[in-house]
A and B are shown apart, each in its own frame.
Chain A
Amino acid sequence: MTVVAISGVTKTFPKGHVTALQEIDLQIEPGEFVSLIGPSGCGKSTLLRVIGDLTAPSAGTVEVNGKSAHHARLDHDYGMVFQDSVLFDWRTVAKNIGLPLEMLGFDRSRRKQRVDEMLQLVELQGFGDHHPWQLSGGMQMRVAIARALAFEPALLLMDEPFGALDEMTRERLNIELLDIWRRMSSTIVFVTHSISEAVFLSTKVVVMSPRPGRVAGTVDIDLPQPRSGDTREDPRFFQKVTEVRELLRGVGADEHGSVLAEERA
């Protein structure tokens, strides 16, 4: 069954008559890793938020797991990771990861078990009793990912999760994320403004154009799995990066494409 089915989605903001999204059609199948990429103002974050029912579309329909996005949210069908880790200072790392489990009414012992599994998954064993401010930015993001996965959603929505991290941390977390994706056999929708990150992570890259936000084209990334540091040196990797860059150039993105100023539409 299709995980995300978007048809004819348009989103306009009354303030300034901005058309953030126009007539978007997109299907995401189970197990896919789809990146949304595009220059600032292309509405990629808005599209992600529409899928998560954090923003309502002005027209068109979004179905998640065969339900309306609204019902999917009420059913806890997806986990969300934001650009900022959004950890609660007053909670320990373990309690932060357990937050969605509290919302879903898991009892204490099941909560503890799941949190321990998650700490192991993101390799933060021994940090459960720390408070977020005691961790580095990369570790905080791993906690946010663990929290999003704690209740085992089949769909993970990630809004530029590694945007604020340095290059080296970002590349390490990319590999860890792929590892998690394989083990959880989940579907991931990932917003980024880095071409190489999009190509490295994804099975499919959706290139979007700005004002109004439209899908300019999609690039299937059939690089072998599992991917590793070597993938980045594979000639086929560069070929795909070039392909995405060409598409982006066509939509008026920055020539180099990799560092585009980002703003939430």
Chain B
Amino acid sequence: MAQAGHAAAFRGRTPTRALQPAQVRAAAVRAGTVVGVLLALWGLWELYRYVWIREAWTWPFPVNDTTLPHIHSIFQALGQPTSQGPLLITFLLHAAWFTAKEALVGFGLGAVVGFALAVALVHSRLAQRALLPYIVASQTIPILAVAPMVVVWLKSGWQSVAVIAAYLTFFPVTINTLRGLQSADTAAHELLRSYAASRWKVLWKLRVPASMPYLFSALKVSATASVVGAIIGELPSSIQGGLGGAILNFNQYYSITPADLWATNLIAAALGITFFVAVVLAEKLVVRRAPEQRA
């Protein structure tokens, strides 16, 4: 009887799904903060330009329309037609979509390989001792040195770009997932031992669910790394359709149309942020944790 009363009182405290005024206010405050920060950054940029140009300071570099274009000229450039015809924004969005596909395949490949490696390593101390040093060493080789080799092996194409992106993606996934697979405490393992659970069951019922928060913090790093990996991967593959090609191209014309390169960077950053946000949303769907434990 006392329990029923307790249950009712508890349910009363549980927040319901419907949006409440407090939640709407919180969302408005958050949106306001984002806009405020963007405006402040814009202001700082323009203030810096104004002061450096007026004082003619040359340290760390002389400021003019080429070295540091107006923010509004960068946005204006997006609305200008390119030499090929379409507007720059259209051209860049196409390039971003092209790169996004490569990055997505690379991200998926890297995540799967990274996860599988972690599962293998957690089950074999020998494998851990034998392989881990080489996994770490693989990341000390600059991607610019690895990329041309991948292109030689796989031929130039989006597949080689995806593999290069995967090369940057898998490492954080392996390291974090390994830690996550080992994160369950002794008592939890003993509980499963008392059920005579097989290694396979321990993996799927305990180790993997326990590793999810670790996996997702790795995926957040990997999501942005896969975009960078895809852009870099396009360079030695001489792929023209993506953001890498666009960056290379606008780089050559920087002294004439500097805003084009800045605009390209803007779109590349937006793509990275999109990947990041997608992982954050997926994490919210998948990871159920006590609120204070949520990273």
B209 to chain A: which residues have CB within 8 Å?
Answer: 88, 90-91
Q: Which of A82-105 contact B (CB under 8 A)?
A: 82, 84, 86, 88-91, 99-100, 102-104
| Interface: B212 (CB within 8 A) | yes
Shortest beta-carbon distance, B52 to chain A, in Å?
53
| Interface: B195 (CB within 8 A) | yes
Q: CB-defined interface of B261-291 with A at 8 Å, one 1/0 digit per residue?
A: 0000000000000000000000000011111
A125 to chain B: which residues have CB within 8 Å?
Answer: 3-4, 7
- Expressed in whole angstroms, the Cα–Cα distance for A130 and B191 within the complex equals 21
| Interface: B205 (CB within 8 A) | yes
| Interface: A220 (CB within 8 A) | no
Size category of the binding interface on chain B: 20 to 34
| Interface: B197 (CB within 8 A) | yes
| Interface: A73 (CB within 8 A) | yes
| Interface: A257 (CB within 8 A) | no
| Interface: B201 (CB within 8 A) | yes
* A102 and B193 contact, Cβ closer than 8 Å, known pairs A90-B212, A90-B288, A127-B7: no
- Expressed in whole angstroms, the Cα–Cα distance for A124 and B3 within the complex equals 7
Judging by beta carbons under 8 Å apart, are B7 and A90 in contact? no
Shortest beta-carbon distance, A104 to chain B, in Å?
8
Residue of B nearest to A54 (CB): B190
- Expressed in whole angstroms, the Cα–Cα distance for A192 and B10 within the complex equals 31
A80 to chain B: which residues have CB within 8 Å?
Answer: 190-191, 194
- Expressed in whole angstroms, the Cα–Cα distance for A124 and B208 within the complex equals 28
* A89 and B194 contact, Cβ closer than 8 Å, known pairs A84-B187, A127-B7: no
| Interface: A123 (CB within 8 A) | yes
| Interface: A261 (CB within 8 A) | no
Given contacts A86-B188, A89-B290, A133-B289, 13 further A-B contacts (CB under 8 A): A54-B194, A73-B193, A80-B194, A82-B187, A82-B190, A88-B188, A89-B289, A90-B287, A90-B289, A127-B10, A133-B290, A133-B291, A134-B10
Binding site for B on A (CB under 8 A): 52, 54, 73-76, 78-80, 82, 84, 86, 88-91, 99-100, 102-104, 123-127, 130-131, 133-134
Binding site for A on B (CB under 8 A): 3-4, 7, 10-11, 14, 185, 187-188, 190-197, 201, 205-206, 209-210, 212, 287-291, 293
Question: Which 7 interchain pairs have the tightest Cβ spacing?
Answer: A133-B290, A80-B194, A126-B7, A103-B195, A123-B3, A74-B196, A86-B187
